[in-house]
Amino acid sequence: MRRRHKVATAIAGIVTVALGAVGLTNAQPQTLPQQPHALSEGEKDLLHEAEEVLTRSCMAGKGFRTWVVPRRPVPDDREFPYVIDDVEWASRHGYGSDISTQRDKVRAFDPNRRYFAGLASSKRQRALDALHGEKTGKRISIQSPNGMTISRMDGGCAADAQEELYGDLETWFRVLTVTDALDTLRSSMTAGDADFAKSVKDWSTCMHARGLPYETPQEARAAFLNPDRRISREREIRAAVTEARCAASSGLSRTIHRLDEQYGKRLRHQYENEVQTRLRMENEALPRARAAVRSS
């Protein structure tokens, strides 16, 4: 009888503890704070579109027009700051002469440029003031990591749109200016490294062996994109594909990747506050961006 009582008591205790744990879980759900994530290309497009939508609405309220244009109007447009190292891209675009032509067309038919250009002089100035803020207004100035001072007006529809999306305009402009400069700064550090110079020589040797006597990728690119020289599309593509293959076989691509990682990490650490603040502000802006685009 005693043994039965002990077993029953033990079971009752287990049930009580289990029910208590369930009750505690239901009463106090614990959610870990979500860490800001690096934006996807789609999220970058969303923030851009929302900013354009908010700017358009603001300008309409002041009696002017603007149009929403995509962040990447030429989807295949890519930057190759050191050397073309994508064989597939090179086989489609060569050194990018077709991309350059598409860029020129986008610029020529940009509805915003055409609208402002078509306004009478006095009205154009009023429209520009409405968009960017009056020159007599308050100015925000930030020193970029490259030493240059970048300024903007804190008024106008462009500033209002950014403030609505990101909150504190001055903080946003500061972190945007600093972090946007890091790519150029990293590229400069990579290109100035002795390992990069050695790999470029190896790349040049590879190009020479294939009948393309260029000392640097910049020299090759300039030769094929020179508007004063007509070079067949076939020759351009063939040379660009050779450049990309030489970038791989000479080790230049590996060197670039290693140096970019090395200097990028150093710069992100040096400007960690700006990098993390931008990331946080962008993540926090995503719900507002979705709402702005939905309501447009």
Is 22 domain-assigned? Answer: no
Is there a domain that residue 35 lies in?
A: no
DSSP E strand boundaries for the chain:
139-143, 149-153
The 8-class DSSP code of residue 295 comes to T
pLDDT tier, 34 (very low <50, low <70, confident <90, very high otherwise): confident
| Mean residue pLDDT across the chain | 91
pLDDT tens column, 76-134: 999 999 999 999 999 999 999 999 999 999 999 999 999 999 999 999 999 999 999 99
Confidence of residue 22 (pLDDT cuts 50, 70, 90): very low
Angle separating helix axes 157-166 and 272-294, nearest 10 degrees: 100
pLDDT digits (tens, 9 = 90+) for 252-277: 999 999 999 999 999 999 999 999 99
CA distances (Å), 226 to each of 97, 148, 222, in order?
A: 10, 30, 6
Number of helices (H), then strands (E), in the chain: 13, 2
Tens of pLDDT, residues 43-83 = 999 999 999 999 999 999 999 999 999 999 999 999 999 99
Specify if 29 maps to a domain.
no
The answer as to whether 30 is a domain residue is no
Share of the chain above pLDDT 70, in %: 89
Distance CA 21, CA 31 (A): 17
Domain holding 60, by residue range, is 41-290
Residue type, 112: N
Q: Please check whether residue 296 lies inside any domain of the structure.
A: no
Between CA 217 and CA 136 the distance in angstroms is 46
| Separation between Cα atoms, residue 203 and residue 223, nearest integer Å | 17
Cα 125 to Cα 232: distance, rounded to the nearest angstrom: 44
- Give a yes or no: residue 205 inside a domain: yes
> How far is it, in rounded angstroms, from Cα 106 to Cα 187?
27
> Cα separation of 95 and 222, whole Å?
9
pTM for the whole structure: 0.86
Total tally of structural domains belonging to the chain:
1
Name the phi and psi angles at 140, rounded to 5: -105, 130
Closest CA to 178 of 153, 132, 146: 146
Residue 62 lies in a domain: yes
What is the maximum alpha-carbon separation in the chain? 106
Q: Is residue 281 part of a domain?
A: yes
